[in-house]
Chain A
Amino acid sequence: MTVFKARDDKDVLEAVSWAVSEKSALELLCGGGQRALGRPLQTADTLDLSGLAGIRLYEPAELVLGAGPATSRQTILQALDGADQMMAFEPVDLGPLYGRDPGQGSIGGIFSLNLAGPRRLKAGAARDHLLGFQAVSGRAEMFKSGGRVVKNVTGYDLSKLMAGSFGTLAALTDVTFKVMPKPEKTWTALVYGLEAAQAIGAMSAAMNSPHEVSSAGFVPADLAPKSAVSRISQSGQSVTAIRIEGPGPSVSERVMEIKKMLAEFGPTDELHSTNSNLFWAEMRDALYLVAPMERAVWRISVPPRDGAAVLAAIASRHQVSYFFDWAGGLIWLAVAPGVDAAATDIRASFAACGGHATLIRAPAEVRAAVPVFQPLGTAGLALSQRIKASFDPENILNPGRMHGDI
């Protein structure tokens, strides 16, 4: 097993050229932060991109940042903090779920996973923010797509394809993405003591109001004590949370309106900026499900209205811990790993309403045995294989990370 440590894009090209001519697969690493997600790889060699780090371009007034794929999350966040800006899609930090310290990982990993946090509802996913990239394909060719401006329909939007492709199409050598101003103030309206189905109703009412809700989540009574926010941990009840962001006077008024509106559901309360930020970060990184470490963790996306019913169907057959994000459209769920981490029942639970489930955490043998990602239909799989082959005909890059040989 050889690790090729690339210093620049030419090294990446050279390493992939070699692998193509040897027909020998490579595992791509930007620091390895996300290695625990996806199907375990068995490649002969590793291409380490950690040398391709550093911010190349940051123009706050243009809302754009460009960086090497291995630029650390911390480096990017520090630069953004300095200009009071953020990645609006709130990249999930999976470190704690895998038993590592928070704050690790790289920007290339963030886009390769396309995971978005609670603000997904309002601001979109990682894929909505990737404006352009440069990469070396599995054909050992350097290419680029997109640019540094938001309004761009010049050619196919390959950035969308690259986001969430887990390094199976090309090795990123540079990414350019959109950044946004941080909200001046972030408050959260709370409703205590709801059941899951009631919480879906309350979140839907808030989402359908004109108050520009940026996030809506629900933590059941059994997980609430795990919160670092005392109002939540000491409530002794479930908590339904509605996030409101914006300029100061607007935020306080809208939170008041939301509380008035949701008072019919149960007793209300509010969190101000510090506690709000703490709470939504817990929800983003699924901190409530970190322990016990041996449990498998799923991330299930369904139509928001169906969140409670899907959860009930799973819970009727398995002992689970869970919470809702995305107004009920995202279920984070922990279950005993068993042989298949309840994959069959979980995927059956949303067959009627549509959705997809990703096995975020599980022992390698479980991840090797069950599809980590939502299985594709016959036509979808065939098309995805042809797309993979259009970038990587010899199946050199992260083969088998996602589906079958993709």
Chain B
Amino acid sequence: MLMPKPSQEIIAKRSAIVAALQAIVPGEGVITSDDEMRAYETDGLSAYRQMPLVVTLPETPEQVAAVLAYCAGAGVKVVPRGSGTSLSGGALPLADGVILGLGKFNRILDVDYENRCAVVQPGVTNLAITHAVQSEGFYYAPDPSSQIACSIGGNVAENAGGVHCLKYGLTTNNLLGLQLATLDGEIMRIGGRHLDSGGYDLMGLLTGSEGLLGVVTEVTVRILRKPTTARAVLIGFPSSEAAGETVAAVIGAGIIPGGMEMMDNPAINAAEDFVNAGYPRDAQALLIVELDGPKIEVDFLIDRVRQIAEGKGATTLRVSESEAERDSFWAGRKSAFPAVGRISPDYMCMDGTIPRQALPEILKRMAEMSNRHGLRVANVFHAGDGNLHPLILFDANQPGQLERAEAFGADILKSCVELGGVLTGEHGVGIEKRDLMGEMFTEADLAQQQRVKCAFDPDGLLNPGKVFPNLHRCAELGRMHVQRGQLPFPDIPRF
């Protein structure tokens, strides 16, 4: 993965940059020793490592804005970082860039039940929000699997999803307000505790912008009352087609489950070896359908799901009768990644999305690719919304296997696009899928996105090298190439 060439000129000025940052963020807020910086050299995409120029950990929005303004003035690149759990390398440092860590922004500022929202600092973990409001029976809905560690600021940057987003939406659907520090040193408020601010939807644009537009210094999220009941059905199928048809039929029947997850046979067996969840080892596909809501509604819908699954040829079917049993259904799914980690020295987790109906087709293609690349693959899906997480098994110590795994992953994602889907459903583009962007977008599509970046970051200093395969100067992107037009379509009537 080629990153932008580090500027030797900036690296040579390191001590001046450190001194300037220390003047903004006093005390221990600037980290310069290799030993301490080592903790920041990678994120959740640990195949890639890079020591940063320097790390700074500001404590106030004003300090963040001042750091950004200084870096903009001095032409220094900035890589924002939350908890460092990005699976796409979104927080990978640059040799000539400052890591701007938000770890000290760890306070919950206000919980407002009357307006059903919480105001939190960006370094607060996703799960900590739910912990802060669960005594009153509330929770924060998006639940990425890293929720114990990942920060809400990072969730905003990546538009994080999770098992429950089929019914409750992604991060972008659960935000009310942001405070943003921009490269020109401004601190802006977007939204608040009300809905749908007027003007351009800057909050929607910033969510999922992968730290390329600004740095979020405060987040207002919606909180929801926790459903009184949740029950799950664990269903085994003789084929992935039958499981896929069941998913379509459930949704076709007007049922939007809280979660609808699928695992293929290799994933089922890996999970079963690991946690003994009681999954049917001979099933070709396993579905976990969870319904949540008022008890009477859940019981009613569980029965419908059961009928649909049986009609589609389910071979095993269990309905949870207790919270303990529901947890046991999930135990295998939730441990799928470590379970696969046990049967293979390394694995690579992909993240494409396809239209639900293309599930059997993508599985067929993956089996063929697995043969071609000589690597095994296990699959877990957020089946309800067509989001795939193929786990490619490889051994990084065997020469060539990492490259083969990457090629296999790229083939899977290209297939996702061919089938009407997209490169990434919830992990972000980062560096991982950056060079595949051309599979989905034309030059004009990408240039327009980059022009939007220019509106925030005219010198390309915020998290460069991520998301976009080619870096262009804003002046070059701004140039117009319109040929002098004739009067439009003169052959048709005008009024």
Inter-chain contact A154/B114, CB cutoff 8 Å: no
Inter-chain contact A403/B194, CB cutoff 8 Å: no
B residues 158-192 touching A (CB-CB < 8 Å) = 158-159, 161, 165-166, 169-170, 172-173, 182, 186, 188, 190, 192
A180 → B minimal CB distance (Å): 7
Chain A residues with Cβ below 8 Å from B158 are 153
Inter-chain contact A161/B354, CB cutoff 8 Å: no
| Closest Cβ neighbor of A373 among chain B residues | B198
Chain A residues with Cβ below 8 Å from B453 are 156
What mask results when residues 363 to 391 of chain B are scored 1 for a CB within 8 Å of chain A, else 0? 00000000000000000001001110000
Inter-chain contact B421/A149, CB cutoff 8 Å: yes
What mask results when residues 451 to 465 of chain B are scored 1 for a CB within 8 Å of chain A, else 0? 111111000000000
Inter-chain contact A20/B485, CB cutoff 8 Å: yes
A111 → B minimal CB distance (Å): 11
Kindly state the separation between the CA atoms of A356 and B176 in the bound complex, as whole angstroms.
13
Inter-chain contact A208/B251, CB cutoff 8 Å: no
Interface CB pairs A-B, < 8 A, 22: A2-B494, A14-B485, A14-B488, A21-B483, A62-B355, A144-B441, A148-B420, A149-B420, A151-B353, A151-B385, A153-B159, A156-B452, A160-B205, A302-B194, A303-B115, A380-B188, A380-B199, A383-B455, A387-B200, A387-B205, A390-B455, A391-B448
- CB of A212 within 8 Å of the partner chain: yes
B142 → A minimal CB distance (Å): 12
Q: Which residue of B194, B424, B429, B480 is within 8 Å of A393 (Cβ)?
A: B480
Chain B residues with Cβ below 8 Å from A140 are 482, 485
What mask results when residues 246 to 259 of chain A are scored 1 for a CB within 8 Å of chain B, else 0? 11011001100000
Inter-chain contact B445/A353, CB cutoff 8 Å: no
- CB of B493 within 8 Å of the partner chain: yes
Chain B residues with Cβ below 8 Å from A389 are 455
- CB of A54 within 8 Å of the partner chain: no
Inter-chain contact B449/A11, CB cutoff 8 Å: no
User: Which of A119-127, A262-270, A288-296 lies at the binding interface?
Assistant: A119-127
- CB of B1 within 8 Å of the partner chain: no
Q: Which residue of A163, A356, A373, A379 is within 8 Å of B182 (Cβ)?
A: A379
| Closest Cβ neighbor of B489 among chain A residues | A11
Chain A residues with Cβ below 8 Å from B248 are 61-62
Considering the complex of A and B, which 7 residue pairs feature the smallest CB-CB distances, nearest first? A160-B204, A181-B254, A250-B297, A354-B192, A18-B485, A151-B425, A386-B455
| Closest Cβ neighbor of B436 among chain A residues | A154
Q: Which residue of A61, A155, A158 is within 8 Å of B252 (Cβ)?
A: A61
Inter-chain contact A158/B297, CB cutoff 8 Å: no
Inter-chain contact B296/A250, CB cutoff 8 Å: yes
- CB of B315 within 8 Å of the partner chain: no
Inter-chain contact A149/B494, CB cutoff 8 Å: no
Inter-chain contact A254/B170, CB cutoff 8 Å: no
- CB of B15 within 8 Å of the partner chain: no
Q: Which residue of A153, A156, A304, A305 is within 8 Å of B425 (Cβ)?
A: A153
Kindly state the separation between the CA atoms of A145 and B165 in the bound complex, as whole angstroms.
21
What mask results when residues 204 to 218 of chain A are scored 1 for a CB within 8 Å of chain B, else 0? 100111111000000
Inter-chain contact B356/A61, CB cutoff 8 Å: yes
What mask results when residues 35 to 50 of chain A are scored 1 for a CB within 8 Å of chain B, else 0? 0000000000000000
